[in-house]
Structure 1
């Protein structure tokens, strides 16, 4: 792969402020690309107290791409379900997703400091990645060539560093965001919650239970390694100091354990739920990620996971820009692709919180009655059990090439639009409105009308089945491809008919060419072609995926999102259009129509 030589005038190609999970993940991913990174953290060490407790399949796939999944897997509880129960003990919603289309269980429990430590230790693999603990960012200034940072070190020492790009991953109170003057709009819920983490789990039951008790809602969550988390709502007039007193804490714990005095406490902490979104994610050479870009209530466990989606989306784009493989316009697609989905996850988290803890007992009774009726409808019950309400990332603009018929979009949501009004006054009304906006859901399809066009996989995450390799071993698909672009064709050679110009694009990007076959055909070796990886489709998952669409060649981005889809005879033309969508350099693509729409003939 031809790359631009490092700029000796920079101390680092990328400076990252904040050594939380997002900053650590970006640093590890950039390290794999050979990018010089300076990770700056004002604390003296990685935070060691528990915070997030839920990690989803997308985040685990990101850690897999960083080469750390084997270590992480020992510290998760797969298939971690969430159950909502009324004050009487009736379970009115149980979220039990059993799918693993992305290679991992959809919902998993974890203890964040354990994974953060794995991410931190992972940086030792890279001599070109440096970590500065005990250094705060005092100020920064950017110009056309880079960013100059003024740091405050131990004992008031000062240090100036120069980087090509700056990533602000420094939390909800981000100094980077505030210095840029980027608006951070949203709301803060008036009520607080006290978190109690304990060792030697006094209950031992699996999963998470959301106790929707109107007198005092609380949560009981089983975590790996015998840890359990309890969360209790702080009621009006109560303070953290009062609730932390042994006698008052014992009263809280009496709701969940028989003997509060025998509990092995780790920590107690009060927090407030915030829901905020940055006005933009990029200001010239400075980018925002994680809580610096968006914060959300905890009810769907999406604060951590949304930050990991940011890291996954941003890191490969930064690497390709730094290496001169793509123009700076590629970084504009980061905000285009991530901001709308972050907003949807904030909305989902707010709705879940409103359903869990309604503002009045009358609202709680209405919720109980409605959910009891809805549970009698199998299709609706299955919709919640399988977690189909969760809006999956889907990019309709950005570093993708949309087929012409799809880019025209669906008709406006008119049918039943008044009923499914997300701006309504009830939590269930907002939930139905959110589901109506989710284009993948039954409600979304219903609201858009029966004539909505067939969806496209472009802009959505590709599946990750286990595949049979040439050496006879079965591996996850991403482990075969590596942290690269990939061109995957079903049953054919993806390189056949490529023009020299199109081939040069893929060679410059370091793409992998992959031919997916029925597993039994791997025994036939006469069709081996140089530079093409053959994989056997174990369980027909790839065949089923390709059977859904009229084209058979898929372009995968390094973050495993589908960048384009075409027929074998359209591979060269689509390649050149995709190169332009990526702002890839050293290519001469023909002009691409607006909205990255490629006009393709029928397959």
Structure 2
């Protein structure tokens, strides 16, 4: 930490205050703790929530937990390669999502037990003396100024105190007091129908995966979870009330739809909820940031509410760490809204489309859906497109801490036309697909345009690599929570100006040279500050084979900040330094 940073944080309770000890707040605090940032988590409840909520965790979130050093414990509570299948009323499968890829180092779709993972996140904070959690603290007021944020809290005994920090991250849920205090708009829509969720122990079905049963009489979901737990979700029909549904006889009627003996069901909990789709107008107001449900909420149909919050934590925490440590300027934090808000909007849209397809508003729409989806499922490339979850909008940052060689292409004319032409589930789905030009279906709908997507602004792959001692690791475990400048077959610092190298070393960068199989014996060619890796699976070679540049700048959240040829490394470094509001010192 620089002297200026020490002076600024003197007298503060923390450098960063985190409101809310849910998964987003706990993940943010773990990453900040790993970076050595003094952090204080404030939670209104007496302990973390111990009942199930989210049930799906994706590869990006597991990669974030890997960065936090917690996946060893988390893996005990997940089921990898968790498929989702859609069934017609007659029981015919019309779509199956079966992703088998692991380009980011983990299975793309996974079932998990959230309370177990939340507990791991909470216990993970005990690794850091500079991170504390205060339970039973109600937030009374919040204010901010040029030097920091002041938060007044009150405990169960009515005792009040004021906590001060340089920055505050509000992870206080969809009804966020912080967001409302800041008068940040939270716009969207609420679906008119409700759903009842039922979690049970001793799985009465025992089948794997998730079934989305599009029964026009009462659509329902059946999801297998780890440790013999199963979740059922049933649509609440017009005229039904929560009080009536929770009566034993009504619950037995519901469960008789899915189990042989509803009287032998071991219930964990039952809850009625409404699907909301909301997005905050901004994720930053001066020194306060919104994350997780405080920034966006979405229907559950693609399991992206939890995962979108984890993306927030992954994007924001390392930036806050760099700024409070004096390694980047405050302007870097503007990139949080620039990078995360558009993708959160895309995930809300995808979740709404999936919900509309699962539970259309009329029987006629359901018949059209079944006919069209069965026909599309009969085309192998289309079936593969859905099976591999290529429809999922992966984050691609157009603005923020990224250097694009040229402006990205505008959405296709057909995609825009389909999106505008009819507000129907099928029309929105086709519009979403058509705008993904890198997909087979996207090229099909766009006249087979050949568009090679730039890797800049996208997440870098995570293959297995072998270090000089012969050990094999996932790539992220070699990099750690830092920038990486990775070159294929060459020294990424060759020809790098001393001041540029000094700039990157101040951030804690790792310089990496990746060699093909069998070439590690030439390790004497690499200087001591460059880590040599062997491309164990050949995936890094394949990745660079699709690029025109041989050096990649990887951010701490594993997104590609820029590409360069060896002779362009200095120029690109200067541009990235300016985006970090920390110019290279001559």
TM-score range, shorter chain: over 0.9
Change (3 A) 1:309 1:197: same
**TM-superposition CA deviations, 1:41-88 (whole Å, max 9, x none):** 000000001000000000000000001010001110000000000110
Distance in 1, matches of 2:451 and 2:213, equals 41
Residue aligned with 2:392, SS? coil
5+ residue gaps, structure 2: none
Change (3 A) 1:445 1:182: farther
State the 1:152 CA deviation: 1.1
Asked if the contact 2:381/2:440 (under 8 Å) is kept, the reply is no
Change (3 A) 1:452 1:184: farther
Asked if the contact 1:417/1:447 (under 8 Å) is kept, the reply is no
Distance in 2, matches of 1:422 and 1:305, equals 28
Residue aligned with 2:518, SS? helix
Distance in 2, matches of 1:522 and 1:449, equals 45
Question: For residue 409 of structure 2, what is the aligned residue in structure 1?
Answer: 410
Question: For residue 380 of structure 1, what is the aligned residue in structure 2?
Answer: 382
Query: Which residue, 115, 118, 122 being the options, matches 1:116?
Result: 118
Distance in 2, matches of 1:507 and 1:50, equals 43
Query: Are residues 1:72 and 2:71 paired?
Result: no
Change (3 A) 1:227 1:182: same
Residue aligned with 1:515, SS? strand
Distance in 1, matches of 2:577 and 2:100, equals 37
Question: For residue 49 of structure 1, what is the aligned residue in structure 2?
Answer: 51
Task: Detail structure 1 runs of 4+ shifted over 6 Å in the superposition.
Answer: none
Query: Are residues 1:292 and 2:260 paired?
Result: no
Query: Are residues 1:401 and 2:403 paired?
Result: yes
Query: Which residue, 95, 102, 124 being the options, matches 1:93?
Result: 95
Distance in 1, matches of 2:96 and 2:313, equals 30
Distance in 2, matches of 1:333 and 1:70, equals 31
Query: Are residues 1:340 and 2:339 paired?
Result: no
Asked if the contact 2:551/2:565 (under 8 Å) is kept, the reply is yes
Question: For residue 594 of structure 1, what is the aligned residue in structure 2?
Answer: none
Asked if the contact 2:292/2:308 (under 8 Å) is kept, the reply is yes
Distance in 1, matches of 2:179 and 2:522, equals 57
Change (3 A) 1:412 1:81: closer
Distance in 2, matches of 1:480 and 1:279, equals 37
Asked if the contact 1:184/1:278 (under 8 Å) is kept, the reply is yes
Query: Are residues 1:213 and 2:215 paired?
Result: yes
Stretch deviating more after TM superposition (378-387 or 58-67): 378-387
Distance in 1, matches of 2:399 and 2:134, equals 37
Question: For residue 316 of structure 1, what is the aligned residue in structure 2?
Answer: 318
Residue aligned with 1:87, SS? coil
Asked if the contact 1:327/1:585 (under 8 Å) is kept, the reply is no
Question: For residue 185 of structure 2, what is the aligned residue in structure 1?
Answer: 183
State the 1:507 CA deviation: 1.0
Stretch deviating more after TM superposition (82-91 or 498-507): 498-507
Distance in 2, matches of 1:57 and 1:332, equals 26
Question: For residue 511 of structure 1, what is the aligned residue in structure 2?
Answer: 509
Correspondence list, 1:200-239, <5 A: 200-239=202-241
Using the size of structure 2 for normalisation, the TM-score is 0.97
State the 1:485 CA deviation: 0.3
Residue aligned with 2:413, SS? coil
Asked if the contact 1:410/1:452 (under 8 Å) is kept, the reply is no
Change (3 A) 1:15 1:416: closer
Question: For residue 433 of structure 2, what is the aligned residue in structure 1?
Answer: 435
Stretch deviating more after TM superposition (526-535 or 442-451): 442-451
Distance in 2, matches of 1:415 and 1:351, equals 18
Correspondence list, 1:116-515, <5 A: 116-403=118-405, 407-411=406-410, 413-415=412-414, 417-418=416-417, 420-421=418-419, 424-445=422-443, 454-515=452-513
**TM-superposition CA deviations, 1:414-448 (whole Å, max 9, x none):** 24643x22562321111111122334333444566
Asked if the contact 2:411/2:435 (under 8 Å) is kept, the reply is no
**TM-superposition CA deviations, 1:441-483 (whole Å, max 9, x none):** 3344456666665321000000000101111111000000110
State the 1:500 CA deviation: 1.3
State the 1:552 CA deviation: 0.5
5+ residue gaps, structure 1: 589-603
Asked if the contact 2:32/2:321 (under 8 Å) is kept, the reply is yes
Distance in 2, matches of 1:45 and 1:298, equals 25
Asked if the contact 2:414/2:431 (under 8 Å) is kept, the reply is no
Tell me the number of residue pairs that the alignment of Structure 1 and Structure 2 aligns: 584
Asked if the contact 2:100/2:108 (under 8 Å) is kept, the reply is yes
Asked if the contact 1:2/1:508 (under 8 Å) is kept, the reply is no
